[in-house]
Structure 1
């Protein structure tokens, strides 16, 4: 429902009804925090929105004097807020995201001169073990089945196959594939420049041969005539419009269905995880995997160190008392 309701923001009558001023201290603080996330941290719009929403919910749970006058995140107030969400059956992973939003606000207050060191050090840690199992990825055989599910003799099939190759070979996110333009590709030097990344930083990457061949064939034989500079566009009315993230996701899901893998996999992120897993099995370092996937922290890519089960068995210690 959230995705559907976001379309209301584009309607003129709804935009006029949204107040443009921040009359109370809390609204002004939320507005400044949003500007900090957007302009200073360079976070994506969706990240800024949900972090501000979490802070707004926290202020709403406090008393009026506590939230309107001091706007300080006290540990008892944070614990009471998180406990209330847990009693409403919020998942630990969601509570951890809220803690990240509150820590971000404390760093924002620190830049304004507040001493938030004690609050940051005592922020609750949510016990959660989401990565107790290796990430779900496609095997080499399943990847071959997936790539063979595209009919490259049709224009839309060439387009979807090129998208799949870009995600698998370059580790692109769905949003990055959507914003890939003709100007992003340097064919002579074999370089792809990603301008629209999650970190809002331009990234230059080598163009693999198979992905380049799929892109070249699509641009020459399958892409319709259009003034749009986007690489991947619609082949049905409205023609020439850049593909949305949802359209790319649906194209990959249809391919999973055609190769009878839809009961195990869906969406585009599993392809990105599969890329990291293949690199890990090829003895590529975690640092190089993090650079390719454009992760700011090595901890984000460290999960792939637990994918190679056979190599982990070689370094595992024998169980005490066992014969092997």
Structure 2
């Protein structure tokens, strides 16, 4: 909590702390998300205290109207906050008041009359199959130290060949590695099993055979030059070098390889539900964006290839 916690009385402050504990322990939100939710509510309470002329009490929250929330959102928009951030702010407020309702503290309809700002969904930019494969095969050749080249190749292969986020790849341990599957811990601590294709498994085995460091079974596999856990920034830099060497677009990042994994699977007839499970998406709507990506690529290819294009 920040100094804006003093904008509330002791009871409301206690409920805010209880809500944050619930988000962390029960909903298992990521630390940065938890921090953002707490900051959003701090700012709202500070606004409400100034709006109502005193510390926010339970009675003040009970008397809160939709107009109060809209006024707060309008103020945040004047601070050049974008629609995506405003949508998160409203989500934070709804989460807090839903918590108060669940524990019997307070029920309010004020939030029901406030519309969520429309957020334009940006389409992920996938690499072509050839480009994605080249990022993997060329990685090893760019590094003078064989074990580091093998390491970077294995991480990049996991992003494209298994659809992993870079954070998921770098947190893998030997215990997560089985003959034909990976045990992946994703956002919110959710665990999923991902099939391990032969080429990716071979990349990992090659790295482990060359690596001068042999971490314990429950420690991260991928290591930096001095033996500490590998920083994601080093893989990002590797992709920057590959972009320059291979003439890849600026959108070619480790996360773009994950997008490419999903787009290419879908383009070859992959089931949307199965792709959702492989990516670890909580909602199918998040995965459905790849149907738009695939359609766009199809139309682009059609326009280039058709005689009347």
TM-score range, shorter chain: 0.7 to 0.9
2:204 is equivalent to residue 215 of structure 1? yes
* Secondary structure at 2:269 match in 1: coil
Say if 1:43 and 1:199, in contact at 8 Å, map to a contact too. Answer: yes
Say if 1:171 and 1:275, in contact at 8 Å, map to a contact too. Answer: yes
TM-score (norm: length of structure 2) = 0.83
* Secondary structure at 1:199 match in 2: helix
Cα deviation, 1:106-164, whole Å, max 9, x if unaligned, reads 22122112564734532322023233xx4211112221332233125721111001000
Structure 1 residue 26: deviation in Å?
4.7
1:230 alignment counterpart? 220
Matches within 5 A, 1:50-199: 50-63=36-49, 65=54, 67-70=56-59, 72=61, 74-114=65-105, 116=107, 118-131=109-122, 134-152=123-141, 154-187=146-179, 190-194=180-184, 196-199=185-188
1:304 alignment counterpart? 290
TM-score (norm: length of structure 1) = 0.79
The 1-side partners of 2:253 and 2:78 are apart by 31
Matches within 5 A, 1:223-262: 223-228=211-216, 229-235=219-225, 239-261=226-248
* Secondary structure at 2:138 match in 1: coil
The 2-side partners of 1:227 and 1:301 are apart by 35
* Secondary structure at 2:182 match in 1: strand
The 1-side partners of 2:127 and 2:296 are apart by 17
Between stretches 273-282 and 72-81, larger displacement belongs to 72-81
The 2-side partners of 1:70 and 1:302 are apart by 43
Say if 1:155 and 1:218, in contact at 8 Å, map to a contact too. Answer: yes
With over 3 angstroms needed to count, the CA separation of the structure-2 counterparts of 1:232 and 1:98, relative to structure 1, is: same
1:30 alignment counterpart? 16
Structure 1 residue 309: deviation in Å?
2.5
1:6 alignment counterpart? none
The 2-side partners of 1:206 and 1:147 are apart by 18
2:273 is equivalent to residue 283 of structure 1? no
Between stretches 210-219 and 104-113, larger displacement belongs to 104-113
* Alignment length (residue pairs): 283
Cα deviation, 1:76-108, whole Å, max 9, x if unaligned, reads 221111101111221111111212212221221
Between stretches 89-98 and 239-248, larger displacement belongs to 239-248
The 2-side partners of 1:301 and 1:117 are apart by 33
The 2-side partners of 1:50 and 1:280 are apart by 34
Say if 2:9 and 2:57, in contact at 8 Å, map to a contact too. Answer: no
The 1-side partners of 2:272 and 2:182 are apart by 22
The runs of 5 or more residues in structure 1 that have no matched partner are 1-21, 314-324
The 1-side partners of 2:297 and 2:153 are apart by 32
With over 3 angstroms needed to count, the CA separation of the structure-2 counterparts of 1:70 and 1:268, relative to structure 1, is: farther
Between stretches 266-275 and 289-298, larger displacement belongs to 266-275
The 2-side partners of 1:98 and 1:274 are apart by 31
The 1-side partners of 2:246 and 2:65 are apart by 53
Structure 1 residue 181: deviation in Å?
0.6
The 2-side partners of 1:226 and 1:310 are apart by 45
Coordinate RMSD, CA, aligned? 2.5
The runs of 5 or more residues in structure 2 that have no matched partner are 1-7, 300-309
With over 3 angstroms needed to count, the CA separation of the structure-2 counterparts of 1:203 and 1:297, relative to structure 1, is: same
